[in-house]
Amino acid sequence: MKGADRAAVLLLTLGEENASEVLKHMGPKEVQKVGAAMAGMTNVPRDQVTKVLESFTETVQEQTALGVDSDEYIRTVLVGALGEDKAQGLMDRILLGSSTKGLEALKWMDARAVAELIRLEHPQIQAIVLSYLDHDHAAEVIKYFPERARHDVLLRIATLEGIQPGALQELDEILERQFSGNQNVQSSSVGGVKSAAEILNFVDSALEGEIMEAIKDADAELGQQIQDLMFVFENLIDVDDRGIQALLREVSSETLILALKGADDAMKEKIFSNMSKRAAEMMRDDLENKGPVRLSEVEGAQKEILAIARRMSDSGELALGGKGAEQFV
């Protein structure tokens, strides 16, 4: 069973009240993923439930860190769950005793609602807010921005090198007043070229090209830096065979067929070579028999696979290649 399925089984065995208490400590993405897994649970065999509970018990017994290097324990857990970049900002807030409730509330809001909330704010404020959101969420929010504002806010995100504590505290207090409450903020490190590139990775391809063109017109060097850090579908050819095989286990056949309709021969061979001979033959036949499809469908499928690849990269399940990848020695 996958991680979300195991979590779903565990929560279903805890009972409504205890499960609710656990979910309170999870982020919106995790709640959505586990909630979907719980909703899809039907007739789970008793032996699977037993295995999940035994595994959980063993994990708790082996990984407890009561009174022993709790800071390092928290860091290890967060890096394993969220990846180095996301974990660092969260560590700052946890270990410095801050909460950023106002900004955190935005992560639970619909993208259109966030865009509406910040549409009249200064572009620099918009950049800070978008940098604070998960990158795919920020990409959804940008879709609702006026066309002329999109490249401006991405430029600001790319040149954002951190935020003064006082400025972030003021922004958090403004947002918190709208959601009732107040909370101080000690520090935060958001934004930067990498953040802008990762947000653009989740934006629709047509919109992505339009924004990149505008950014390069405004600042060619910065635009190139952003582009160099972006990870596109073609970069998957640089992922090692073991990583590709792990990725293919997470991608549905229909999504893969759509994505490969827009891939070159080298990329197709990379995928086929990491399948069994029979599976590769079936995939080739399906590709040949698949009629014409919209470019938007192909790009959407490729974006979906890239999102899975990034998630797996963050959790250490595969190492991404391409210009934007971290180098290993």
Cα 1 to Cα 251: distance, rounded to the nearest angstrom = 15
pLDDT in tens, 175-210: 666 554 333 333 345 567 777 877 787 777 677 778
Dihedral over alpha carbons 233, 236, 238, 241 (to 10 degrees): -160
Model pLDDT, residue 39: 83
- Helices 84-95 and 70-82, packing angle to 10 deg: 140
DSSP state of 236: G
Q: Structural domains in the chain?
A: 1-64 (no CATH), 101-229 (1.10.220.30), 233-314 (1.10.220.30)
Judge whether residue 66 has pLDDT over 60. Answer: no
Instruction: Please state the length of the chain.
Output: 329
Indicate if the pLDDT at residue 284 is higher than 80: yes
* Confidence at residue 97, expressed as pLDDT on a 0 to 100 scale: 40
- Work out the average pLDDT over 53-78: 67
List pLDDT tens digits, range 111-162: 888 888 887 777 888 888 888 788 888 888 888 888 778 888 888 888 877 6
Q: 31 vs 172, which has greater pLDDT?
A: 31
Average pLDDT of the chain, as a whole number: 76
CA distance 43 to 177: 46
What is the reported pLDDT for 182?
Answer: 35
Say if residues 90 and 106 touch (Cβ distance below 8 Å): no
Which residue reads 């978008």 in tokens?
130
Residues 302-324: tens digit of each pLDDT: 888 888 887 887 777 877 654 44
**Share above pLDDT 90 across residues of the chain, in percent, rounded to a whole number:** 5
Query: Comparing 213 with 201, which gets the higher pLDDT?
Result: 213
Asked if residues 246 and 317 have their Cβ atoms less than 8 Å apart, the reply is yes
> What CA–CA distance (Å, rounded) separates 127 from 118?
10
In this prediction, residue 204 carries a pLDDT of 73
| pLDDT of 271 | 92
User: Does residue 164 have a pLDDT over 70?
Assistant: no
- pLDDT for 38: 84
> Does pTM top 0.75 for this prediction?
no
What gap in Å lies between CA 34 and CA 10, rounded to an integer? 10
Q: Which two tokens stand for residue 4?
A: 């979300």
Residues 6+ apart with CB under 8 A from 120: none
Question: CA 212, 218, 219, 225: dihedral to nearest 10 degrees?
Answer: -10
pLDDT at 98: 45
pLDDT of the residue at 168: 67
